[in-house]
Structure 1
Amino acid sequence: MEYTMNCRERYAVIELFDCITDAYRCFLNGSRPSQSAADVASLIYLGVCGVVAGEDRVSVSSKYCHQNTGELTCISVTLVEKIISSLMSQSQPAEVVSYCVEVLRVLFQDTDLMSQLVRLFQNEDQMISHLAAKSVSTCVFYRLHKSRTVSPVWQQKCVQSFNSSPPGAELDACLWSLTEVLKRLLKGAYREILEKLLEAFDSSLSALCSKFLPEGRKKAAHPLVDFISSRHWGTTFYLLLDLLEVLTASSLTCGAGVCLRSQRITHIHSSALLTAVSLSSDGFVKKRALLLLKKALLQKAGEDWALEEVLSPGLKYEHFNSDMTTLAQTVLTAVAANWLQGVHVGSASFFGGTRRIQGDKSQKSDSVMLRTVSLLLLKSMVLHIQTAGGTEGVDSAVHGYLQSLWAFLRRCSVQLTEVTHLCCWISLVFGEQDDDMMEAAKALLSIFLHHRPICGLDDDAVLEAACVSGFNPHCHFLLLLQSVSFDHSILLDFLISAETCFLEYLAQYLKYLRTDWQGFTAACARISVSDCPVLWQESLAYSCGGDMAVSTCKGESEQVEFSPCFQPTDVISPVERIGFIAGLRLVEYDSSDYSDPENMELSALDIEQETSTPQVSIRQKEYKSSDSTLLSDPNFPLERRPDQHSLPVIQNEQASCTNMAPPSGHMSCEMSTRVVLCLSQLSEVVTRLQTKNLFPYNPSSLLRLLAQVNNCFQQWHLSQLNKQ
């Protein structure tokens, strides 16, 4: 300490700031500072302690102290993190590495800098508190990585804060710090260290969540009201929700091992989380809580930052099924108790804030909230069906939940109040998010398949009732294809991407389609361009260069029908049609580099992985470069296609559709022809990629389903011709 006091007499604040800045620049450039490691360590220590011990501050003018001491602390704390990050990156020269190691030895062994950094957690300046938490997290992770030991000072501070601290800066810093350390361990697949750290915090985290999220809806309301009255409640609660997602994600890494209570908090305290959604006035808190519950139900907690192979060990922990059932039942119980009535959805947000224009009826509701609530309820219904079995009581309850969802959506969305065909709701709500749309479509298909055999109605009546309730799977599939302009290459991207469950959904739907072609054709007659949401029509108009014929029908209100620039009755070659449809795509996929097919789940298809030939991963750009030119090549041999006559037959059938007298039959033929053409093109390109060993899994089962659908179409068309 005598050495430190000598430094205090020797350096003024300005000199400290300049020296630390010079050292920071050196580390950024990959060189070592001119001062010794001990001198740099002392400078850093003085800079960190400058705002902690006010009576020991360097004697300078009060004006300068107030304005610049905080900046000195910030750069000093940031320099500590930079030094540790340089060591972990392993990209520095050997002499710089040894220099950094010596600086850290002096800081954390001779001067006990960790205690000073932890004290900054309670600083009123949010910038200083956050930078301290960031630096401490890096130090803790570095120590865990190097010596497999937890910093006792940091652990004691966090445990104490979790047990006793009210919402505020100190608790916020501890929550953020622990969350960051756990995230890094999950990203790096440090399973043993992660388990050890979670065990150390298990009891304190359980106590913290029991205080913020008491079990039981009746017990949850009163404490939450008390916390909401606190000025810091919103920020603290949001950070707690971030921590809960990390804990939930860590439970997916347990496999068949022991899962701690803290890792199950999201499921155990789900009732209190739902209560927070209805009671909180902070929109960001509501949204974060709902997203947490949705990710827990979909088993996607941590998907944005954790390694997929870490979160998918195969086996689940002992209480996994019961926890999922508890979460689903909690959601359904809340919905039955009119929980949705208390969920208020604000206006859609954008980078400028939230639109609040008086008299603006075109304002859109927050689509994230609508999607999350919808998917949360749909997934809970599916789990309820799977656990309760097929009974009439379950079926009537499912219809009640769906009616509650429709009432909620109509109350919150102006667009949905104008929909006459309720099956369009899924596209209006989920159209901006592919992964959620596929999850919703798969859930609604499961609900329909459960409802179909126990309702006691014939097939036509079942589909009519499904349309009235908005879950006709044929309509959903047709609207999905319309939304991508019947572009098979987009479907291919969905198939090879691990970001959606499209493979499972498509396989399940095609299996059902084989058994109900009549219901499919009825849906084709029902779906028209006017059924498309306005968003899709605008996208189609933009893709066609604005060449859209618009006709207005006068009535009580103006209704606009869009006639696409492409007329399906025009007879063109399959290759030309492929080129046209490709030109209508809504999204430019040339720049997409996010499809990761290496870890596709294929359980829904019961696909057997090939063992004779290695699987080659393929991304969007690889497909574009190797195969997209073949689609527009008129000289491409037909014998390379899975069905030599499928596309020419479809072309001839499309031409013959123009001679069919009944308007409904004409519409049905046009729509079904476009659907089967799209699926045939998809089958063709998947087959070509498979022959080149470029497809990421064995698609034989999928190709068989697509061929069977094509056969159903040909048989149906022949029957239509015989009726003429």
Structure 2
Amino acid sequence: MGDPGSDLQAVFQVFQAGDVPGMSSEELAGRISVTLARSVQRLTPPALSTGSPDVDSACLCLTLIGKMIAGLASDSLQQDAKALYEDALRKLFGPAELMSELRRLLTCRDRLLSHLTAKCVSSFVIYDVCRCGDVDPVWAAACAEAFQAPAPGCTLDTCLWSLTEVIKGVLRGDCANKREILRKLLVGFEADLTSLYSKMLLQDKLEPWQTAESLTDLSVTVSTFMDLLEALSASRLRYGVCSSVQRLMFLHTSALLSLTDSSLEYFVKKRMLLLMKRTVVQRPGEDWALGERHAALQGDEFLTGDMRALADAVLQAVGNGWLRRVWVKPQPSFFGGNRERFPDDEGKDAVMLRAVSLILIRSLQVRTQHAHTEGAEHVVDVQQYLQELLAFLQERVAPFKGETHNCSWILTVFSEQDDDIMESAKTLTTLYLYQRGLSSSALQACSWGCNPHCHFILLLRSLSFDHTVLLDFLISAETCFLEYCVLYLKLLRDNWQDFCDSCCRIEDTERTSESSRRVTSIHPQPLASEASLEATPRTSSQAQTAQESRTSQRDSAACSRPRLVDYGSSEESEEEEKGSVLNLQTVGGTEELEADSESRREGVDLVERAGAGSADSLVGKVRSCLTELKAVLTKLHSRGLFPYNPTSLLKLLMAVEAKAGL
């Protein structure tokens, strides 16, 4: 036998060509084992330089092992190649005790070699646990030892990454009994991860960790731990696997939120907020291509209570001024870097703003869902919290400072992310219905940015009232637009006049704002009386001309989309929507939205015009858009071309059309 390293170079070239090495499985395993053992011996203790022959040999071995595992996992190999690789892996991780050698490389100070080792090890653990259901004991012991580390470091980061990758691999993989495998996988790490959570996140125990050589090292470790928490949350919310370590972030949410006050770097705080956002909207792991959510979550008896605990912690933090302590960069991040300067209308880190907004409004929704069962002392003041959110946005978002309508915040914050804007619109509609059910007088929903009519109008206008975009949303499985659409159409059906009032208010507000801007540009320093006089609303025909000019300049929003509900028959869908609509029939049609007294002296004329639904008014454009949507839905359904039964949706659209005709 020649030099094993040279032989492996030839084997690697055969792999690259997609051919099968011309050797037995025993010979292949022997060459890999000898080469790797020799490299490990020379690299331990690690006084190495990247690019040394031993590092290169070790990387070559790890790459070959990874290629064999990937080939077996993909089921793309011919039968002879599959048998060869399976037998070679059995010999490597059996008699050759390769995992023990790899465990030594996991602690290597060379981060590239350490990470490549973790990738190889994780691939084998995923393959092995999905094939036989057992967790490799050597790998598990190495991770458990690393989790007991007294301070952050490369080994801890590597093992955190490896466990996260294994959980993600099981979630993605095609293996039977995923719930059992995940449960078995996590049970051995509960004590160590619980201790690690305490050391890393609880403020009274974080101080010793802050003596790390570099704050960046600690920030990297905490961020990697956030990835693991998201994987734990995904396994819980997708497969109902619930262990004590998976409940930590729900029961100790305040520890996560307190990271905004820590000295950790900005990207860690951003990662924490993304974790919280994905958890409260129940979409953890949405970037990991995990496939469909598992249907059976009955096994998690603690989930409802834990979600309430998380929501309570968020609302308590907001009540204690948490929003005022959340720092948001005045510019977006680009692949880890930032541009030095931004135009005034781009000054926002939208990822952070979306995360903070959704965390708060979804926590409010969770809390209000249970408020009616807990008595009057547990009533939630939605208006107070949303006013806090508006103050937060007005202080930190440059484009929002020029807006004249508070309800426009939803587009300012969410316009770049379709799944989030639909989620927020649906959530805010339920919050409006909850608050409306508590109020005995007309709601002033626009003052706290929670008028669902305004949200719907502004959304359609941002799409240029294009019904084909709405059709795309309804067909796509990437947003909750169907759920939102049904919820809002029921509100619109029972509160048509409120919708007309909202249209008039938006037109009136924008007409006044446009007039003020024109006065400012013509007379830079007018007297106070002159300014107020010249800002008086113009006639209806002038207002409509200006509105049309502005509306025609708006671009259609580019849209991506989360999950499509099974809409079934109309009777079934009515039952499904009962909880989310919050008993709409008891509150619909009995109260009016607030009227802006000073700017509504022409309101009666405007409402009459809106009620008539002239084609160039907002009412007319919305009505036309919904009518066109109903027509195309009817045509597709009659031909059997729509992907689900839209009968109930069509009934709602017809009911709205009937109201609009009045």
Global fold match (TM > 0.5): yes
1:507·1:604 contact (CA, 8 Å) conserved in 2?
A: no
Pick aligned residue for 2:183 from 195, 206, 225 = 195
In structure 2, do the counterparts of structure 1 residues 661 and 241 end up closer, same or farther at CA, with 3 Å as the change threshold? closer
CA contact (8 A) 2:419 2:562 kept: no
Residues 209-224 of structure 1 aligned to structure 2 (within 5 Å): 209-214=197-202, 219=204, 222=207
The one-letter code sitting in structure 2 at the alignment partner of 1:502 is: F
**Structure 2 match to 1:452:** 436
1:341 corresponds to 2:307: no
User: Where does the alignment leave 5 or more consecutive residues of structure 1 unmatched?
Assistant: 1-6, 538-549, 559-566, 570-580, 610-659, 716-724
Deviation readout 1:667-718 (Å, 9 max, x if unpaired): 6731111101111111111112212222222222111111111111111xxx
**Given the two structures, how large is their TM-score scaled by the length of structure 1?**
0.75
The reply on whether 1:403 has 2:387 as its aligned counterpart is: yes
Aligned to 2:248: 265
Give CA-to-partner distance per residue, 1:53-83, whole Å, 9 cap, x none: 23899xxxx9999633322222221111111
Matched, 1:521 2:500: yes
Q: Cα deviation per residue 1:509-562 (whole Å; 9 max; x = unaligned)?
A: 111112222221121122249959x9xx9xxxxxxxxxxxx999435499xxxx
- In 1, Cα distance between equivalents of 2:216 and 2:519: 55
**Among residues 480, 486, 496, which one is paired with 1:501 in the alignment?**
480
- Alignment match of 2:313 (pick from 323, 326, 330): 330
In 1, distance between residues paired with 2:49 and 2:219? Answer: 34
Determine the C-alpha separation between the residues in 2 that align with 1:65 and 1:392: 66
Match of 1:427 in 2: 411
Q: 1: distance between equivalents of 2:197 and 2:126?
A: 24
Which residue of 1 is the match for residue 573 of structure 2? Answer: 607
Aligned residue for 2:40, secondary structure, equals coil
Which residue of structure 1 aligns with residue 538 of structure 2? none
Contact in 2 for aligned 1:438/1:500 (Cα 8 Å):
yes
Which letter does structure 2 place at the counterpart of 1:682?
Answer: L
Partners of 1:38 and 1:103 within 8 A in 2: yes
Q: Which amino acid aligns with 1:389?
A: H
Residue identity in the other structure for 1:406? L
SS of the residue aligned with 1:52?
helix
Going from structure 1 to structure 2, the CA distance change for 1:531 and 1:47 (only over 3 Å counts) comes to farther
Amino acid across the alignment from 2:500: T
Q: Could you tell me the percent identity over the aligned residues?
A: 39
Amino acid at match of 1:143: D
The residue type equivalent to 1:53 in the other structure is Q
Letter in 1 for 2:101: Q
Matched residues in 1 for 2:312 and 2:562: separation?
34
Residues 104-143 of structure 1 correspond to what in structure 2 (within 5 A)? 104-143=89-128
Report what 1:413 is aligned to.
397
Q: 1:412 to 1:118 in 2, by over 3 A?
A: same
Q: Does 1:85 align with 2:70?
A: yes
Distance of aligned partners of 1:88 and 1:34 in 2 relative to their CA distance in 1, 3 Å threshold: same
Once the two structures are TM-superposed, the CA of residue 602 in structure 1 deviates from its matched residue by 7.4
Distance across 2 between alignment mates of 1:64 and 1:187: 36
Q: Relative to structure 1, is the Cα distance of residues 36 and 600 closer, same or farther in structure 2, using a 3 angstrom cutoff?
A: same
2:635 paired with 1:688 = yes
User: Aligned runs of 1:211-610 on 2, under 5 Å?
Assistant: 211-214=199-202, 219=204, 222=207, 225=210, 230-255=215-240, 259-305=242-288, 307-313=290-296, 315=298, 317-346=300-329, 347-351=331-335, 353-357=337-341, 361-389=344-372, 397-458=381-442, 462=443, 465-528=444-507, 553-556=521-524, 586=556, 597=564, 600=566, 606-607=572-573
CA distance in 2, matches of 1:483, 1:50: 64
2:440 partner SS: coil
1:349 aligned partner, one-letter code: S
Cα distance, 1:479 vs. partner?
A: 0.2
After superposition, the C-alpha distances for 1:402-449 in whole angstroms (9 at most, x for unaligned) are 222112112211111222211111111000111111111112212211
Tell me which residue corresponds to 1:157.
142
- What residue in structure 1 maps to residue 11 of structure 2? 23
Distance 1:451 1:101, change over 3 A: closer
- Matching residue of 2:33: 45
Tell me if structure 2 keeps the 8 A contact 1:37–1:102: yes
Deviation of 1:161 (Å): 1.2
Is the 1:494–1:503 contact (alpha carbons within 8 Å) kept by the matching residues of 2? yes
**Separation in 1, partners of 2:492, 2:79:** 65
Gaps of 5+ in 2: 527-542, 546-550, 576-602
Deviation, 1:84, is 1.6
The one-letter code sitting in structure 2 at the alignment partner of 1:691 is S
Provide the residue aligned with 2:533 in structure 1: none
Q: What TM-score do you get using the length of structure 2 for normalisation? A: 0.82
CA contact (8 A) 1:392 1:454 kept: no
Coordinate RMSD, CA, aligned: 3.7
| 1:612-633 deviations in Å (ceiling 9; x for gaps) | xxxxxxxxxxxxxxxxxxxxxx
- 2:657 counterpart (684, 700, 710): 710
More contact order relative to length (CA 8 Å, sep ≥ 6) = 2
